[in-house]
Amino acid sequence: MKTTAKRISLILAASLAASAAFGAGHAMEQQKAREDLMKVMGQNLGVLGKMAKGEMDFDGTAAATAADALHEAAVKVTADEMWEEGIDSMSVDDSRALPEIWADYDDFKAKGVELIAAIETAQAATGEGLQAVQASMGALGGACGGCHKVYRAPEE
Judged by CB under 8 A, does residue 32 bind another protein? no
Give the contacts of 4 (CB within 8 A, at least 6 positions apart). Answer: none
Q: How many CB atoms lie within 10 A of CB 91?
A: 14
Judged by CB under 8 A, does residue 45 bind another protein? yes
Q: How many CB atoms lie within 10 A of CB 23?
A: 13
Among 49, 83, 119, 122, binds another protein (CB under 8 A): 49
Judged by CB under 8 A, does residue 150 bind another protein? yes
The least distance separating another protein from the CB of residue 42, rounded to whole angstroms, comes to 4
Judged by CB under 8 A, does residue 42 bind another protein? yes
Q: Which is nearer to another protein, 82 or 139 (CB)?
A: 139
Q: Quote the distance between the C-alpha of residue 132 and its chain's center.
A: 26
The least distance separating another protein from the CB of residue 27, rounded to whole angstroms, comes to 22
For 76, the enclosing helix (H) or strand (E) is helix 60-77
